[in-house]
């Protein structure tokens, strides 16, 4: 949810909670007249917030988690895809105040991308965030990497280089 372009965000907490209800009803186990994927049920949502304001996202997540708890028959997830500069401009306060299951840091299109390894590459800052600030101390932080040179403006590295960074 979100992305690099477009205008989106919440006008306040009540707007965020109402949108979480709509998302639950349209894409998860809720009921709605319009369900874009018919009776298919998603297993989670990913926040890729790259614009607007960070307002309301903790409430959105907390409301979704309330809905998730109403269906113990399956596991549901909340993920985020922040930009690599730490702290993330749009998601920082949300990352520090809501429960995330996984975070796919976008290590591309920024000075701290994979192509900056080892100098400006900052996976260690994200790892430290897990240990010191994240509500979920078991949250998984993943390296978000472009799959091809055309998939990002900068930051692409080949699989051999990525494996080398991973093993270091």
Residue tagged active-site, from 24, 47, 48, 50: 50
Closest CA to 126 of 77, 159, 153, 92: 92
Closest CA to 105 of 119, 84, 135, 88: 84
Catalytic status, residue 50: yes
Distance between CA atoms of residues 75 and 43, nearest Å: 7
Three-state DSSP class for residue 147: coil
5: three-class secondary structure by DSSP: coil
The residue whose two tokens read 């401009």 is 89
The two tokens of residue 75 are: 């596991």
Catalytic residues, by residue number, are: 50
């Amino acid at each position: 949810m979100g992305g690099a372009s477009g205008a989106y965000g919440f006008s306040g907490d009540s707007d965020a909670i109402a949108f979480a209800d709509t998302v639950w009803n349209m894409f998860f186990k809720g009921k709605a007249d319009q369900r874009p994927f018919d009776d298919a049920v998603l297993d989670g949502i990913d926040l890729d917030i790259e614009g607007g304001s960070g307002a309301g996202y903790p409430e959105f997540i907390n409301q979704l988690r309330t809905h998730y708890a109403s269906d113990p028959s399956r596991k549901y997830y909340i993920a985020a895809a922040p930009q690599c500069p730490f702290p993330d401009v749009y998601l920082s306060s949300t990352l520090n105040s809501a429960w995330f299951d996984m975070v796919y840091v976008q290590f591309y299109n920024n000075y701290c991308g994979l192509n900056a390894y080892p100098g400006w590459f900052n996976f260690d800052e994200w790892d430290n965030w897990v240990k010191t600030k994240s509500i979920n101390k078991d949250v998984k932080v993943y390296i978000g990497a472009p799959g091809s040179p055309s998939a990002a403006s900068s930051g692409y590295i080949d699989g051999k280089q990525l494996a080398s960074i991973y093993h270091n």
